[in-house]
Structure 1
Amino acid sequence: MAKRSTLALVAAGVGSAAVAGYGLSIGRDLWKTTKRSQGVIIVAIALFGAVALPVVGGRGLVRGHDRGPIAGLLITFVGSVCLILVGFGLAFCLLGYLTYDETLPNAGLHATALVCAAITGAFAAIGMMWGAVQRPSRLRTFAVSKANQQFLDNIGFKETGGEDITHYDPSGQALRLLEHHKDRLVFMAVGRRGKRAFIDLDAAGQMTGYSGIS
């Protein structure tokens, strides 16, 4: 069950012209500095990608996901493998650029490819180990979430996505979620002064019962 939230962006207009002018000045100075350091920036980005992408891809392969078969194939497998391959490509370009030897072009590229494959594989393995550590907890969370959604559907508990009225209980009573404790969710009965309702939770956070209005 997806968590609903509302994001708001607020802009202040006081002194906007002065702020804009100052910002443009800073932007021009930053752009000049960036142009002088493009080579260093590109190398830094490539190095970061060569390390991070295989780790993220390896982790994504094994950490467990709440996806259907098609999304699992396209996002979990194909997407993760693509991240690893892009990481390999960045490593190959970076290392090849730094070590290229015009006298031995083919041998140099072959050696570079082997080194990059080993490096990428090592980082992907780190990601897979990271994902393996996360997997049991994530799978338990997904299982509890599915069980909770099934519980809510079975008793006819509906979510509104609003703030004043967040839910309707099986009798149609409007509720507002007040508190979330380890053993229960507490709701206020909207329009009924001092009345509360509770959903009981077990130690894993799975819903076990609805109290009704009391």
Structure 2
Amino acid sequence: MCNRYLNHKYWQLVPIRVGKNEYFEAYTMDVYDIDHYIKVTIVVYRLDTLEAYSFFDFYIEKPDKKECVIRTDKHLMQLGRPVDWKSPHRYCLARHAFRILRNEKFKTNLDKNKLSNEYIYRYMTIARLRETVLIKKLNFLSDYEKIQLFTLKQWEIDIKDWEMDRYSGKDTLYAIHRRTYLYKRLYDKEKFKDYYLEYNQKIDELYGKV
């Protein structure tokens, strides 16, 4: 169990899996008292890319795992099949986001001198291997899938400030959505230059230039 939960008042409820269906898996993320109730926050992950898909919460009167499972199952039943389910470009986008977040955490720990030389060497080696795999997958995408990398999704347009707070800083969120890394790793850059420029222009309109 993660150390942050060892002394948790409701340790029996965090973090545990409370729901799963064909497309999603849900875990309790946090449980705490609010007024005379217990607030339970759930995070839902996609099973094809393992990325966080959505968050939701509900209130219960007592720490009851069965009640959490029932509430979560009802929520998962309302979620349809993601439109880009098992799409190759979606996998690449998820790997890109994970890479940005991992690197940010690595740099933070490095700045705080928390890492040994052995860990640093291991991290850099694994990072290079993951980069190689992602580059290979990117260049195996069909033209249609490559275009999807630079097609702005509605949820990216509608993103709210509170969603930015999930990340440690706006720059991290910006780096994920900018997707410069993905474009630079595509074999035929000229072919997709127009899509990339159009995408970047829209990103600048939404987030401003960094």
Q: Say which structure is richer in helix.
A: 1
TM over 0.5: no
- Greater radius of gyration (CA): 1
Q: Given the two structures, how large is their TM-score scaled by the length of structure 1?
A: 0.30
Q: Given the two structures, how large is their TM-score scaled by the length of structure 2?
A: 0.30
